[in-house]
Chains A and B, each alone.
Chain A
Amino acid sequence: MDLATAILLTVVTASTPLLLAAVGELVVERSGVLNLGVEGMMIMGAACGFAATLATGSHAAGVGVAMLAGMAMAAIFGLLVLGLVANQVACGLALTILGLGLSGLVGQGMVGQRVDPVGPVDIPWLGSLPVVGKLVFGLDPFVYASFALVAGTWWFLSRTRAGLVLRAVGDNHASAHALGHDVRLVRFAALMFGGACAGLAGAYVALVYTPFWVTGMTAGRGWIALALVVFASWRPWRLLFGAYLFGAMSIGQLHLQAMRGALPDFLVLPGQFWSALPYAATIVVLVLISRSRGRRASEPAMLGTPFSPDR
């Protein structure tokens, strides 16, 4: 495996959990709900997915349970903010704290245990092609799923009637309600999708990225996913770009560091600089590309606004 292929494969691994969680949150926000609990749903997905795989030995079971765990967390959030019209920001933060604590409890006996990681898919002939064999046909199933989710989300939001309804609910819930759409049902469905995606991202962390369980192992990736949604101005393809840009920068800085011995003195910067670089660069680039072409246009107008059908 040459260096470029190795770097690209690492970038894919670093970007996939962000993309998975972010695409779910994008749909949630497009429906007008701000769920800040992505990190909490993700870590619960990681803990429960790992536990299920450990217990059954089946990756499929782990992934399924992880998605269910994410959905269960999202359902709690949905009941609070949709059913009881609670404050979304406060509930989202609470969901993160709950997830971090609860996952620690779920994972109590699993510290120090390991499972076999989910390996790359094995396509007979295509997988052995030079370069593209590994880079295009030799990735793990989650990666293909993440691309499919981005494409599917784009298609759903921009090409289907249901997507139109979801956007309508996010842009003006009063009008959508007046037209006879069940605002809370649409939002709850979006939340379920977001929870499943976050759970899937958690499963990726615990079954592919670093296949073991330790408390707090998602280490803030849910928050990055949240930020990506905003900076990608709620558009699926930009999200894909943003997630990979962030992944590429975070891996790139590690490679630059490893070559530090060969770098000129002025490039020897504090480690903090390198760690901050992916965040700064991603924000700058995404803000720049969103600036010119109507960033506000795709921001859901009702984002974070509570809705109560009897008002």
Chain B
Amino acid sequence: MRRNFIALAAAAVGALAIGAGAATAQQKLKVGFVYVGPVGDFGWSYQHDEGRKAVVAKYGDRVETTFVEKVSEGPDAERVIEQLARSGHKLIFTTSFGYMEPTIKVAQRFPNVWFEHATGFKRAPNVATYDARFYEGRYIIGQIAAKMSKSGTIGYIGSFPIPEVVAGINSFMLGAQSVRPDMKIKVVWVNSWYDPGKEADAAKTLISQGADIISQHTDSAAAMQVAQERGVFAFGQASDMIKFGPKAQLTSIIDDWAPYYVERVGLALEGKWATGAVWDGLDKGKVKMAPYTNMPEDVKKMAEATEAAIKGKTLHPFKCPLVRQDGTTVECKGAGHLSDEQIASMNFYVKGIDEKIPN
């Protein structure tokens, strides 16, 4: 909140003093970040802020970063982004899907400011997009789950049934099936990215219904703690949650935005920034696996081999042929695997999932 205030105050003062894009080579490069959650969520926004800190650590006095947290998606976002642009920020990262339209709108008004929008698909000469292939990590944890589960049932805590989450569930199950074809999955939707209490309740529900491994696509460590308490295994999300489940965490899919932010700010400092769309994952280290723990050596070996194969592009989680839940085969639009567009708009479950996607 304090930073929030400073950022807004700075934006207000800057609006009077300096025009956008006035920064010269001698001046500090001002870099702005817009977060959807609080930096203290220990999840999505927390990881983006770790990336911002890496930029500060790398470039020190050459950059000046500002962040605004808890910015709701919609008109509020447009105002915040515009204020950052007005106050001399030369490069602005907007880190939630819902900032797509506001980012594009503000970018049209500030052609000399560079924008980067996370997880979106609309670009412009001064708007680049970036995303991470989290589903690659989910394939690996699916394999681990299949090896480690005794009951054969996985519990999965979903946030919202949007393509990214559905693709994550599919990738997880494809990984699991590659080891054990009869794996079962139970999905509970908590209808929130972030409600620790509800996430804990969902984990308890899944465990009492027979799941002995918990995976989540929500942001807090609540489920991990429940798993630790109940003596089952779990996978962390966004950041390494080993502290919350020293005996429960098998691994964690970590978002690491630091290398990307450092690279892009570096380009901006050299004046070589250009628009583009970057969707990478394990290969570039944007998606990382926390140390493989609490598992036998052979499972660890398998996970490491799969990780290497995905990094080396010899394995694609959505390789063709891919069969839908209803038995029909998905048209293959990529080279031996689904195209990026198909993955980004996935709205079906793969074969072997008894669940139904709500709405």
Contacts and interface: CB of A to CB of B under 8 A. Distances in A.
Interface of A: 1, 3, 6-7, 10, 13-14, 17, 101, 104-105, 107-108, 111-114, 117, 205, 209-219, 221, 250-251, 254-255, 257-261, 265, 268-275
B314 interface: no
B208 A10 contact: yes
Instruction: Kindly state the interface size class of chain B when it binds its partner.
Output: 35 or more
A274 B187 contact: no
B208 A14 contact: no
B184 to A, nearest CB: 8
A210 B188 contact: no
- For chain B, what secondary structure do more than half of its interface residues adopt (helix, strand, loop), or is it mixed? mixed
A73 B225 CA distance: 30
Contacts of B202: 254
Contact of A104 (B40, B207, B229): B40
A114 B244 contact: yes
Interface string B66-91: 00000000000000000000000000
B1 interface: yes
Contacts of B263: none
Contacts of B358: 260, 268-271, 273-274
Contacts, number: 140
Nearest to B4: A101
A278 B244 CA distance: 29
Given A10-B205, A254-B205, A271-B191, A112 B243 contact: yes
Interface stretch (B98-106, B192-200, B268-276): B192-200
Nearest to A275: B191
B201 interface: yes
B46 interface: yes
7 shortest interchain CB distances as A-B pairs: A6-B208, A271-B189, A261-B354, A215-B38, A215-B40, A270-B359, A275-B191
Contacts of A107: 40
A271 B160 contact: yes
A75 to B, nearest CB: 22
Contacts of A265: 356
A214 B42 contact: yes
